[in-house]
A and B are shown apart, each in its own frame.
Chain A
Amino acid sequence: MVLFRWLMLRRLTREPGRTLLTVLGVALGVAVFVAIRLASGSALAGFSDTVDAVAGRANLQVQSRSDGFDERLYPRIRQMPGVLAAAPVVQVSALARAGGASRAAVAAAAAADGADGAAGGGYHETLLILGLDPLVEAPFVRLDRDDARAASDPGAVKGAMQLLAQPRTIAITRTLANRMRLGAGDTLSVLASGLPVPLAVVQVLEAQDLQQAMGGSIAVVDLATAQEVFQKAGRLDRVDLRVDPKRRDSVRAALQAMLPGDVAVDLPQGRTKQVENMVRAFSLNLTALSFIAVFVATFLVFNTLAMAVVRQRRDIGVLRALGLTRSQVARLWLGEALAIGVAGSALGLLLGWVLAQGALGAVGRTLHDLYLIEHTDHLRLDAATLMGGAAIGILASLVSALLPALEAAHTPPGATLRQGALIEAQPLPIARLGFTGIGALALAALLAWWTTSTRQALGGFACAFFVLAGFSLLAPFATLAAERVTRPLARAMGIEVTLGARALRETVARASTVVAALMVAVGMLVALTVMVGSFRRTVDTWITQSLRGDIYIEPAGHRASAGATALPPELIAAATKLPGVAAVDTYRGTPIRYEDALAFVVGVDFTVQRDRGHLAFLDGADGAAVLSRAIRDGGVIVTESFAHRHRVKPGDQIELPAAIGPTKVRVEGVFYDYSTDAGAVLMDARTFARLWKDDRVESLALYLRPGASVDSVRSAFLALCGPERLMNATPNKALRQRVLTVFDQTFQITWALQGIAVMVAVLGVISTLTALVLQRGREIGVLRGSGATRGQIRRMVLAESGLLGLTGAALGCVAGLVLSLVLVQVINKQFFGWTVRFTLDPWIFLQATALMIVTSLLAGLAPANLAATKVAAQAMRAE
């Protein structure tokens, strides 16, 4: 311990910059991992809390797997033997704001809202609204203050009666009341299909569970009110049950047998489990992304330690001669890595916690958009994630220290005794490393093949890892090759450049770690640029082709309320007759469970789609023909992700859990789509209405006549809606822009990681060159002594840094190309079932190479200066 303090800790604190950087690298890796896990974990936990809170004491739930079921099932459920109590529920998310719906109130809120007023109208709260029947609520104890006082709390009962007594009343949680500054007697407006509906607050709910779920954003209305306001007349989302615990399984089986296929009987926790399964793939992907950061950190620690070993070689030799055993040396270096790992992890946990606060919103929103999960803004620390993060930080540090520690331990005690001898490790087994590298690449190819044929998504990440590992092992070979290839050029540039290049060849072991680090940085830069570029181009093409219509129209709050949205048929009819409108496409969707996974069924107007749409089909199938067949036979088309996940191809029959019962439909075509990786089944609106007994419309797309002005049609449509109804009418171009903006935001974190990787590599250049310069003090002194100018010495060192940059960049470009293929063809395809059209912009190679050479030269400036001044002077004095 004393030795460790004296020899290692002291050096760490004497080089605070380098140490801090290494620690920071580890911290960032850990932080990204922790943040992503915490954020998705919290989103899930929030969801599970909400499920618990709204389930109350229910121990069995009958619930719709799509958009509600017929309320006439309710009495039959209640009468089932073994059912002790039953409560019908309508559950809807909706935007809300304090105050009534008067013009003045709306205008004031809109003004406060700023530019986006027309769409937002000041509706900043997303509420989970439960429509309940107060008369049958008592056994479920979800509205009451707490269990003990449940029966005797007059407030709850009174409030419940009021809900029933007066139409359009609402009860809100204490938390929400405080946040919105509302009390009993105030008014609160919710958006239903874009129309503000004022509701009178009659009670503030004190129940503890409700305050925590969804950050307290929960409200209760009478069942009839919910059905009326959210156009769910005659439909229920759920029936909560209390059944005799001993007979639960048999009751469940009996109920399931009685109910139609799109209605499931689950345990309340069951829903959480299902959601967990859905979210697992999503969070796995994010976690894999966070491992990029960890990988970079590993390189950073490796680089720092390897450099330190080189610089300390002489001292290690002295210590060995004085009597330090090999294992002691190894332990000292591993100890240093441990110290870095512990410090980095501690900092990383802190940083991760902060990051998670930021990520929570984004992750929650994504989960909501992809999987319809209500989102939470309450961050939960969970011990397993924190411990996992710390373990990863420490392990990554230790693993990356393994080689440097071994290298240090093998320093011969005599290394110091022969003055002037090149203090170099054993000669590098370049050929063997090269063959291992090629082996790793072959393994990567094998993995890629295995991944695509067995669809094991994880294999893609292993494949990417082996690509990087393989090219790292080729670094020494590449360094020698680069020196060889540039030799004539070096000769032309003068003796000092040749000397520099040769020095690099002599110290290939050290040079190649830097080359490998540069390679990883450039490789990831190139790969991500190519991947994101290809992806962006593909998505752009797709939006341009498949954005429905010239103006997309949805009621404000549609994203929150989803299926609980319905536009009046008169409005749609009127829209069709607007001057300048050529056709109107309608949209209605519902989530389903297909082969135990989430999927979406969507009804659109196939006739409009056939005549005016641009859906692109796989294998270049003729869209018009496919859609005509689908219209004629009631067939469907499915997204590529659906086809991939469920192994479906055109001509197959699939069985959909429709509202009228399981129904077989024919798949007429598979089309490109990047909106959700869950997969979707598209059918004609009429087919949807028949299968789901639902002809409501959630959103519209207007196709304009040639020459019609987007702005004037948009204004005309909004005028049609009247001043009350809040609608978003977005021109195609703006929508496309919005999608691309979201796309770019999604990849921002990737660029941040990228920046870190490049920084790490450049630091590697600086520290290696410094070490090389210090070590060659004598040689530099001799050069100066025999007449080399300062400028020549400087150029010699710069030649080394330039060559390092060039080699790293060249190798990195190749690695990046391979890696981008893996990302695009293996990972994207297997993970999301998305075909990304591989597009390559050769400019990136030039840019990356230029960037690396320039930054390497810049990084070489300080060591070059050191060589030209201090080192040379010292060496000459010593002679």
Chain B
Amino acid sequence: MSAERRTSGTPAAPPALELRSVTREFLLGSELVKALDTVSLSIAQGEFTAIVGRSGSGKSTLLNLAAGIDVADSGQVFVAGRELSRLDDDALTIQRRERIGMVYQFFHLLPTLTVRENVALPLLLGRGDERKALARATKLLEEVGLSHRATARPHTLSGGEMQRAAVARALVHAPALVLADEPTGNLDSRAAAQIVELLASLGARHGATVVMVTHSREAAQVAQRIVEMSDGRVIADTAATPA
């Protein structure tokens, strides 16, 4: 499926994320489980892709491989044309810090930092300037509509608010690739819709490629492309009909 119609990325640009015959196996007890079974997939820059599928179908495993948190047993994973198995832990970490934003189902905000500091954190991991980082975080918080809670501690926020803060954190360093693993899993449908909307609009505004794992059909509908997985394989890959 070609996707070179979008704003950013010239036709010559490498895909934002590409998997070539990737297999990942886990030993569960004495049984070998193929979490990913020779999966090949290419996601172009700027694309908003949803990954759907039943529980245990390998969605999270795919995201973890993309983030460089997990390593494939065979096959290759490319992020912006770079093959990940060639990178050591530090290089993978720096790649995450500079080019990837992550959103999780359980938000994972640091409890000791304020909301704004949580958002600014990725900028500081690479020794950024504190004032600039906080200013940028303030701007992102505005974009997600959380300015009024900037100095609050995370545990005082509602689930939807926490996830909006997490989205702001994922985008604060203008990453090329945003990986979201069930960002709506813990939210009611209204909050879920808001989050997906934010991911889509902010992703587009910042020119980021967004890969979102979700169980929700409505959420998937917002994406331009829906990849369906089952038992570690891609079983469907369709361009969504714009809502």
Interface residues, chain A, with chain B CB atoms under 8 Å away: 2-3, 6-7, 10-11, 14, 314-315, 318-328, 412-414, 416-417, 419
Contact = CB atoms under 8 A, between A and B. Distances in A.
Given A321-B102, A325-B89, A417 B69 contact: yes
B181 A417 contact: yes
29 contacts: A2-B124, A2-B128, A2-B130, A7-B112, A7-B113, A11-B112, A314-B108, A315-B112, A321-B69, A321-B96, A321-B108, A322-B121, A322-B122, A322-B125, A322-B169, A323-B93, A323-B94, A323-B96, A323-B97, A323-B98, A323-B122, A324-B125, A326-B93, A328-B125, A416-B104, A416-B106, A416-B108, A417-B60, A419-B106
A410 to B, nearest CB: 10
Given A322-B96, A323-B96, A419-B106, A412 B69 contact: yes
Given A325-B89, A326-B90, A327-B90, A318 B181 contact: no
B8 interface: no
A7 B113 CA distance: 8
A324 B113 contact: no
Given A322-B122, A322-B125, A322-B169, 14 more contacts: A2-B130, A2-B133, A7-B113, A10-B112, A314-B108, A318-B108, A318-B110, A321-B67, A321-B96, A321-B102, A323-B94, A323-B96, A326-B89, A416-B104
A14 B124 contact: no
Give chain B's interface secondary structure class.
helix
Give chain A's interface secondary structure class.
helix
Contacts of A327: 90
A523 B169 CA distance: 50
Nearest to A314: B108
Contacts of A321: 67, 69, 96, 102, 108
B29 interface: no
A315 B111 CA distance: 8
A2 B117 CA distance: 11
Nearest to B89: A326
Given A3-B124, A321-B102, A325-B90, A414 B112 contact: no
A414 B67 CA distance: 10
B70 interface: yes
Contacts of A319: 110, 121, 125
Interface in B124-167: 124-126, 128, 130, 133
A10 B114 CA distance: 11
Contact of A325 (B93, B121, B130): B93
A102 B60 CA distance: 101
Contacts of B98: 323
A323 B125 contact: yes
Interface in B166-180: 169
Contacts of A3: 124-125
Nearest to A317: B108
B117 A414 contact: no
A324 B69 CA distance: 12
Contacts of B126: 323
Contacts of A315: 110-112
A417 B64 CA distance: 9
B185 to A, nearest CB: 10
Interface of B: 60, 64, 67, 69-70, 89-90, 93-94, 96-98, 100, 102, 104-106, 108, 110-113, 117, 121-122, 124-126, 128, 130, 133, 169, 181
A322 B111 CA distance: 15
A252 B112 CA distance: 75
B133 to A, nearest CB: 8
Contacts of A2: 124, 128, 130, 133
Contacts of A413: 67, 69, 93, 96
Nearest to B133: A2
Residue of B97, B125, B126 with most partner-chain A CB within 10 A? B125
A366 to B, nearest CB: 50
Contacts of B94: 323, 325
B76 to A, nearest CB: 20
A14 B112 contact: yes
Contacts of A325: 89-90, 93-94
A11 to B, nearest CB: 6
Nearest to B134: A2
Nearest to B126: A323
A320 B94 CA distance: 10
A417 B96 CA distance: 15
A419 B181 CA distance: 12
A53 B201 CA distance: 87
Contacts of A419: 105-106
Contacts of B104: 416-417
Contacts of A10: 112-113
A416 B166 CA distance: 15
Nearest to B60: A417
B226 to A, nearest CB: 23
A11 B113 CA distance: 10
Contact of B93 (A7, A314, A320, A414): A320
A419 B107 CA distance: 12
A532 B104 CA distance: 60
B94 to A, nearest CB: 7
A412 B96 CA distance: 14
A322 B112 contact: no
Nearest to A412: B69
A846 B98 CA distance: 60
Contacts of B105: 419
Contact of B97 (A6, A322, A414): A322
B93 A324 contact: yes
Given A325-B89, A326-B89, A6 B113 contact: yes
A314 B133 CA distance: 24
A614 to B, nearest CB: 70
B64 to A, nearest CB: 6
Contacts of A322: 96-97, 102, 121-122, 125, 169
A333 to B, nearest CB: 15
Residue of B70, B104, B106, B112 with most partner-chain A CB within 10 A? B112
Nearest to B181: A417
Contacts of B117: 6
Contacts of B69: 321, 412-414, 417
A47 B47 CA distance: 84
A97 B47 CA distance: 98
Contacts of B111: 315
B171 to A, nearest CB: 13
A194 B70 CA distance: 88
A605 B14 CA distance: 105
A878 to B, nearest CB: 10
- Which 6 residue pairs are nearest across A and B when measured between Cβ atoms? A323-B97, A323-B96, A414-B69, A2-B130, A325-B93, A318-B108
Contacts of B113: 6-7, 10
A321 B93 CA distance: 7
A318 to B, nearest CB: 5
A10 B128 CA distance: 19
B186 to A, nearest CB: 10
Nearest to A8: B112
Nearest to B63: A417
Nearest to A315: B110
Residue of B64, B90, B110 with most partner-chain A CB within 10 A? B110
A327 to B, nearest CB: 7
A332 to B, nearest CB: 11
A14 B112 CA distance: 9
Residue of B69, B106, B130 with most partner-chain A CB within 10 A? B69
Contacts of B181: 417
B132 to A, nearest CB: 11
Contacts of A14: 112
Nearest to B97: A323
A177 to B, nearest CB: 64
A358 to B, nearest CB: 41
Residue of B70, B122, B124, B133 with most partner-chain A CB within 10 A? B124
A248 B199 CA distance: 93
B65 to A, nearest CB: 11
